[in-house]
């Protein structure tokens, strides 16, 4: 595999081209997203998803990164709690391709960023105050119930932060608690984006990201520990199928 890669300077140039246009696209697109606040929420997501499609296309053009989706028959389920593996920056926006009307859980501090934060507020995600201590979970559950009752899915990264490739998983219980409290089924999502767009990395590696969506996991009359165990087990078993250790010479 490594013998067929372009020279490293070419990879750096491709990555630079991607980042430059990526930054410009955010600077340009924040205004249409902000203006979309006058539209119903689903239409606002359609507006931001145009930007997502552009970024995915630009990533393919510059860095030669494509994707394949497995389990597409499960993506139409709404509302659901989406449990996604978290390795990269890629999934933080690319999941919108497969779950276009999903709501993210985000830090409230993001709203304070000029321009970007204003547009971000228009998306009406679930914003949490991390300084609220134990009240954070109450805030999450209350907001999640409202979103689910209105027919929106919720995207959660149950590991909490991006984990290094091959690292032991460390799933947190909060997402499973939200799923049980709202009664929405869990959709487990595995992917290997971290191989091609590693965390904290400027360089991107060409190839095809595999994203796999599992069958819905029911949450009615179940406890959060059981739901988390079933979801995390499916994700990690799927990761063993799609993750190729040492695919690239990082």
Domains of the chain: 2-242 (3.40.1130)
Global pTM value: 0.91
The answer to whether the CB of 101 falls within 8 A of the CB of 174 is: no
- What are the Cα distances from residue 72, in Å, to 75, 77, 208? 5, 10, 16
* Phi, psi (degrees; rounded to nearest 5) at 40: -60, 155
Angle between helix axes 224-242 and 174-182 (nearest 10 degrees) is: 120
Q: Are 114 and 94 in contact (CB under 8 A)?
A: no
* 1 pLDDT tier (thresholds 50, 70, 90): very low
pLDDT, tens digit (0-9, with 9 covering 90-100), for 18-65:
999 999 999 899 899 999 999 999 999 999 999 999 999 999 999 999
Confidence (pLDDT) at 129: 77
What region, left, alpha or beta, does residue 124 occupy, with left being phi > 0 and alpha being psi -120 to 50 degrees?
Answer: left
Q: Is the pLDDT of residue 219 over 60?
A: yes
């Amino acid at each position: 595999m490594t013998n067929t890669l372009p020279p490293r300077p070419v990879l750096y140039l491709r990555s630079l081209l991607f980042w430059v246009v990526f930054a410009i696209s955010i600077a340009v697109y924040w205004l249409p997203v902000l203006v979309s606040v006058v539209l119903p929420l689903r239409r606002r997501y359609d507006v931001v998803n145009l930007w997502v499609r552009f970024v995915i296309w630009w990533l393919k053009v510059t860095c030669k990164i494509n994707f394949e989706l497995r389990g597409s028959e499960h993506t139409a389920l709404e509302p659901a709690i989406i449990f996604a593996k978290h390795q990269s920056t890629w999934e933080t926006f690319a999941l919108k391709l497969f779950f276009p009307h999903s709501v993210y859980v985000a830090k409230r501090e993001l709203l304070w960023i000029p321009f970007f934060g204003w547009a971000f507020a228009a998306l009406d995600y679930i914003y949490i105050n991390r300084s609220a201590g134990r009240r954070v979970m109450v805030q999450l559950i209350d907001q999640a119930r409202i979103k689910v009752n209105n027919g929106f899915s919720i995207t959660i990264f149950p590991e909490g932060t991006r984990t290094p490739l091959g690292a032991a998983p460390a799933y947190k219980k909060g997402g499973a608690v939200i799923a049980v409290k709202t009664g929405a089924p869990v959709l487990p999502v595995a992917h290997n984006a971290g191989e091609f767009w590693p965390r904290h990395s400027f360089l991107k590696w060409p190839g095809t990201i595999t994203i796999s969506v599992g069958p819905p996991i029911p949450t009615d009359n179940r406890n959060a520990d059981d739901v988390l165990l079933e979801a995390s087990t499916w994700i990690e078993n799927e990761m063993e199928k799609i993750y190729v250790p040492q695919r690239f010479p990082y």
